[in-house]
Amino acid sequence: MKNNIYIGGDSFCFDRYGPYGPAIGWPAMLADKLNLILTGAGFPGRGFWNVRLNLIDYLKDNDNYDYTDLFIFCHTNPDRLISKDYSRSLIGVRYDAYPPPPNNKEIVEMYDKYLYEQDIHDWAMKRWYSELNTILKGKPVVHLFCFQPSERLSHNLNGFKLSNNLHIRARDAGINNNIDDYALVPTGPEYPNHFPISTNIKIADELANYYLNEISLNTTQTKYFDIDI
């Protein structure tokens, strides 16, 4: 019987298997390489709350904890709304999760203008990291950081932590090179998870090799690592 791999996060791990079956994104490619069943989900534009809800729901089945060989998280920006209904990205509202009226844009603008406090969002993200340490104690965990702010808080996390955030890597791998404009992260069918197909393949290859050569031998280490993508 195959064991599981859980991959959860934001849009950087959203694309998985294509509509006709074959893997189109690095999460599915990685699961295939390791001969594991892919679980978890990517929530585009969402904050960590949706990932947390998904993980807690997944772990309600005790077997899932025991039979998951590897957990991978793509940690999004702490600035995003802590909400299951509304989404907020760095550049405002990119994704509509079909929330009830008023629309997502109005809610996020009101929140940004009157209620947003970076200290509170940073604190919540740090507490989420601390909760992850507790929930997944004893399991191998890889942390990928999607943006610089989520990377900035990474010292609170246990596990294998990828140096340099995915946003920089996506930007470098894409067609745009304006480092100051978050809007220029490549998107669309040619860029699953914001990367060209070739980079998705490369990420899956590198993470699979790192898992087999490092993580599976020292499952509960805490260290920063790097891969060549």
Partner 1 sequence: MHVYIGGDSYCYARGPSTWPYVFADRLNATLEGIGFAGRGFWRTRLHLMEYLDKGYDADLFVFCHTEPSRMLSSTYAGGIHKAFDLNSQIPPNNREIIKIYNTYLYDQDVHDWAMSQWFLELNEILKQKPVIHFFIEHPTKQLSEQLNGYKLESSLFTHTRNSNVGSLDPLVENYPKVVNHFTTDYNIKFGNALADYCLNEVLPNPMQTKYFDLDII
Of 10-18, 27-35, 37-45, 122-130, the window that binds partner 1 (rule: CB under 8 A) is: 122-130
Binding-residue total with partner 1 (CB under 8 A): 22
Task: Quote the least distance from Cβ 197 to partner 1, whole Å.
Answer: 37
Residue among 92 and 196 whose Cβ is closer to partner 1: 92
Residue 74 near partner 1 by CB under 8 A? no
Task: Quote the least distance from Cβ 12 to partner 1, whole Å.
Answer: 23
CA distance 114 to 62: 42
Residue 111 near partner 1 by CB under 8 A? yes
**CA nearest 42: which of 88, 76, 80?**
76
SS3 state of residue 5:
strand
Question: Residues 6 or more apart from 1 whose CB is under 8 A from it?
Answer: none
Residue 95 near partner 1 by CB under 8 A? no
Residue among 127 and 155 whose Cβ is closer to partner 1: 127
Maximum distance among all Cα pairs of the chain, rounded to whole angstroms: 52
Which of 18, 57, 96, 120 is in the footprint of partner 1 by CB under 8 A? 120
Residue among 118 and 221 whose Cβ is closer to partner 1: 118
Contact 180, 173 (CB under 8 A): no
Residue 135 near partner 1 by CB under 8 A? no
CA distance 140 to 146: 20
Residue type, 50: N
Residue 81 near partner 1 by CB under 8 A? yes
Site for partner 1 in 137-196 (CB under 8 A): none
**CA dist 38 → 6, 8, 65 (Å):** 6, 10, 14
Task: Quote the least distance from Cβ 115 to partner 1, whole Å.
Answer: 6
Which of 57, 61, 66, 131 is in the footprint of partner 1 by CB under 8 A? 131
Total residues belonging to the chain: 229
CA distance 33 to 23: 11
Residue 82 near partner 1 by CB under 8 A? yes
Residue among 21 and 100 whose Cβ is closer to partner 1: 100
**CA nearest 6: which of 46, 48, 66, 47?**
66
Cross-strand partners of 42: 9
Footprint of partner 1 (CB under 8 A) = 49, 52, 81-86, 100, 102, 107, 110-111, 114-115, 117, 119-120, 124, 127, 130-131
